[in-house]
Amino acid sequence: MANYAYRDKERKHIILASEALEEDRYKFFYCPNPLCNSKLFICAVDGSRKAHFRATKSAYKHIANCPYANSSVVFDDNKFNQSNFLFENAIQNLLVKNNSKSAMSVSKSSSCDKHTNYTLRTIKQIYSMCKQFPPNYSYGNEKIGRMILDDRTAYCYPKGVFGFKIIESCVKGRFYDNDKNEIYLVAPIANPNYHFILSIPDINLYRKIRNMVFENKDKFIIAAGDWKASNLGYGYFETTIYTDKQISILN
């Protein structure tokens, strides 16, 4: 499911679901994932405004491992207040063990308009938002391509991944080291030329995350961190994992 797609195979001409509603329902569009050769058609529930693109023809399904085949990328833009979203703050909050205090102060200050004004908070929420806007679009204070490393945005990271970012990653080969309390991931999925080291000092948290990754070795793993160059050399980056809020499995 996608909120946007492309008119052309080269992925130069973006079309939003709301725009496609005006067009021929039998016309097909190309998946946001540049490696996917599915054919997407516009779908709207009861002609409502919540239109989206889907691979409805069985002969032209998403390729295996296409994130847009996945329900994890569903994102309801209307639920969240974009103007309150500060990407670095959101990632920093994921790195803090207990931020109930700051969450309380936020809800207090905005108590008069509590019906709306949810800001994206969890890694899954931020991830699905990133997947539903093109890389050069902005959400809140930041461009999508600067928030997430995936197959669409790899061109934004020619020198590597530094600072607060989310990675869409997977496991390849040896993925943990019990002596170092480290988990190893690679990204982006289709062309995984970057290696990511999750360093997890808390032994219980390390075991929990290792087991979770072990049970989901064939799935996509998203991780948020403050990435720095590793001393292993070019293409290797590391972050410390402080909480399980920094990592999530896509189903």
From candidates 39, 52, 62, 195, binder to Zn ion by CB under 5 A = 62
Q: Which is nearer to Zn ion, 152 or 165 (CB)?
A: 152
150-165: b (≥16 Cβ within 10 Å) or e: bbbbbebbeeebeebb
**What does the alpha-carbon distance between residue 161 and residue 186 come to, in Å, rounded to a whole number?**
12
Task: Provide, rounded to whole angstroms, the least separation between the CB of residue 140 and Zn ion.
Answer: 26
33 binds Zn ion per the rule CB under 5 A: yes
| Distances from the Cα of 184 to the Cα of 76, 137, 140, 199, 247, angstroms | 32, 30, 31, 9, 13
DSSP β-ladder status, 220-229 and 236-240: antiparallel
Q: Which is nearer to Zn ion, 55 or 161 (CB)?
A: 55
Q: Which is nearer to Zn ion, 31 or 166 (CB)?
A: 31
Task: Provide, rounded to whole angstroms, the least separation between the CB of residue 64 and Zn ion.
Answer: 10
DSSP 51-104: EEEE--SGGGPPPTT-GGGSGGG---GGGB-GGG--HHHHHHHHTSS--HHHHH
Note whether 189 and 127 are within 8 A (CB).
no
**What does the alpha-carbon distance between residue 221 and residue 210 come to, in Å, rounded to a whole number?**
12
From candidates 5, 66, 129, 148, binder to Zn ion by CB under 5 A = 66
Q: Which is nearer to Zn ion, 31 or 205 (CB)?
A: 31
31 binds Zn ion per the rule CB under 5 A: yes
Task: Provide, rounded to whole angstroms, the least separation between the CB of residue 30 and Zn ion.
Answer: 9
DSSP β-ladder status, 194-199 and 236-240: parallel
Task: Provide, rounded to whole angstroms, the least separation between the CB of residue 56 and Zn ion.
Answer: 13
| Distances from the Cα of 4 to the Cα of 8, 12, 102, 147, 153, angstroms | 13, 12, 34, 18, 15
Considering only residues 166 to 205 of the shown chain, the ones binding Zn ion according to CB under 5 A are none
Task: Provide, rounded to whole angstroms, the least separation between the CB of residue 19 and Zn ion.
Answer: 19
36 binds Zn ion per the rule CB under 5 A: yes
Task: Provide, rounded to whole angstroms, the least separation between the CB of residue 66 and Zn ion.
Answer: 3
**What does the alpha-carbon distance between residue 172 and residue 51 come to, in Å, rounded to a whole number?**
36
Q: Which is nearer to Zn ion, 66 or 223 (CB)?
A: 66
From candidates 68, 127, 184, 196, binder to Zn ion by CB under 5 A = 68
Note whether 126 and 168 are within 8 A (CB).
no
29 binds Zn ion per the rule CB under 5 A: no
Q: Which is nearer to Zn ion, 33 or 169 (CB)?
A: 33
38 binds Zn ion per the rule CB under 5 A: yes
Task: Provide, rounded to whole angstroms, the least separation between the CB of residue 196 and Zn ion.
Answer: 24
Interface with Zn ion by CB under 5 A: which residues? 31, 33, 36, 38, 62, 66, 68
